[in-house]
Structure 1
Amino acid sequence: MGSLAVYGEEDVTRVENVVQHIAIANIVIDGATITRVALVDVDIDGGDNTGGLVGFGDGVIAEGSVSGDVTGANKTGGLVGRNYADISNSSVTANVTSQFNTGGIVGYCPQA
Structure 2
Amino acid sequence: MPTPKSGKASPAVRARAKKIRVVLTDVDGVMTDGRVWLLSEPDGSTRELKGFDAHDGVGMMLLKLAGLHTGIITGRSSSAVARRAAEGGVEFVYQGVPYKMPVYEEILRKSGAKEFEVAY
TM-score with structure 2 length normalisation? 0.30
Write 1 or 2 for the structure with the bigger share of strand: 1
Rg larger in 1 or in 2? 2
TM-score with structure 1 length normalisation? 0.32
